[in-house]
Amino acid sequence: MHRHGYKGSKFHRERDQRNALIKGLADSLVKYESIETTLPKAKAVVPYVEKLITKAKKGDLHNRRMVIQGLQTIESAHKLVDEIAPKLKGRDSGHLRIEKTAPRRGDNAQLARVSFVDDLQSAPVAKAAAKVETPATAEVVTPKPAAKKPAAKPKAAKETK
């Protein structure tokens, strides 16, 4: 039998089971911001979550509903749209990385860690709220520095004919 036209791996599962597996891995990745799974599953979940992040960065109602549809829980979908996506605005793509880890002890399957490239703990969530001026802070006047005298121009040498 030929192998032409068969794209992607099936993980020895039916279509609905495979979709549920990818959806669950994506949900865990958003919830815990890093997961460890087998290398083929990691390679399958990264493009899936990248597309969800792109939708979450747009942030309108339709894309929010698409993200909710793509993840298992509504809480993780709202976390992706409200908390994670604003931190990733500076990057167009490549939000996730795959790092190979040690082989699994039981069956020697290659494990991999999927995590976000940017550090989500240090990045700001949203813009800081504007400060409300109180009358005490509004009255503070800073003194202006004294005006500087213009520097003297050097005298030009007299021209002779």
> 61-70 vs 39-58: helix axis angle to the nearest 10?
160
State how far the Cα of 90 lies from the Cα of 78, in Å rounded to an integer: 20
- Mark residue 94 as left, alpha or beta (left: phi above 0; alpha: psi -120 to 50; beta: remaining): left
CATH architecture of 15-119: Alpha-Beta Complex (3.90)
Structure confidence by residue, pLDDT tens digits, 22-67: 999 999 999 999 999 999 999 999 999 999 999 999 999 999 999 9
140, two tokens: 């503070």
Please report which residue ranges of the chain form alpha helices under DSSP H: 15-32, 39-58, 61-70, 74-79, 85-87, 135-138
Indicate the domain borders of the chain. 15-119
Structure confidence by residue, pLDDT tens digits, 85-118: 999 998 999 999 999 999 999 999 999 999 999 9
State how far the Cα of 28 lies from the Cα of 46, in Å rounded to an integer: 12
